[in-house]
Amino acid sequence: MFSLDIPLPELDENQPDNEPIRINEIPKPKIPRPQTNMSKSTDFGKCILSQLKLDGNVPKITADTMAQLIQGKYSNLYDHLYVIDCRYLYEYDGGHIPNAIHLDSPKDLTTRFFEKQVKRCVIIFHCEFSHNRGPQMAALFREHDRFLNKDSYPNIYYPDVYVLEGGYKNFYEHYPELCDGGYTRMLDDEHKMNGDLVKSTSQFRAEVDKVLKLRRQSLIDWRPKRANSAQLINSPSAFQSPVANRSCRIIASPMATRF
């Protein structure tokens, strides 16, 4: 049973003076301007947009596109190209993409690219098959970028980040002439027997776990304190997600406060 003392909202369409304010009429909070050192997206991403595969956290490029990058087809669309080889060191030493950088440590990765930002660059991650290590490192890289720019969503320092589809194995099978050296498998018998595989795997997992632990703690420390709806409206930087901002505006609207 509803109480008759509860005031009901005025919904009489014939009284425009009393018409509730619509949600889309409420002034939107100003989003902070991008930081001055924010990296601008290159034209490379726009050029290959139709070729990208978006089945993960980071888009994938094909071996053909990777070959074209090495051959300089898109060199006028960016200033720097970084190929990040996330395989273990013995795999990298057995053969790799020309000028690829061996980085299988998330900490070393963030140190290299975030202590001093590199503008207008294309970054491509890969491992042997680009199923685990490469995509995981790329995802950690993107998440770190998002966290650093949480007050400037959706801006990030490095918009042109990709994963090489099929990894080094697939690229080597199609373009062996574009590789330095051959192809050493992660499960190579020699490196299984001498302990390289176990040692490298343990070290990689420990590095990733350490970064994830620090990331979780950073999110806990950053989490904004509870505030009323009016305070949230005046503090758009408290949220990273547009969905959160939209919910906040609805809570503070005259329609919501009438009930």
Distance CA 191, CA 252 (A): 62
The answer to whether 234 touches 29, Cβ cutoff 8 Å, is yes
Neighbour count for residue 51 (Cβ, 10 Å): 12
Q: Is 127 among the catalytic positions?
A: yes
Q: Which residue of the set 47, 127, 179, 248 is catalytic? A: 127
Element of type H or E holding 230: helix 229-233
C-alpha distance from residue 98 to each of 71, 77, 81, 184 (Å): 11, 20, 11, 16
| DSSP one-letter code for 124 | E
Distance CA 66, CA 32 (A): 36
Positions annotated as catalytic residues are 127
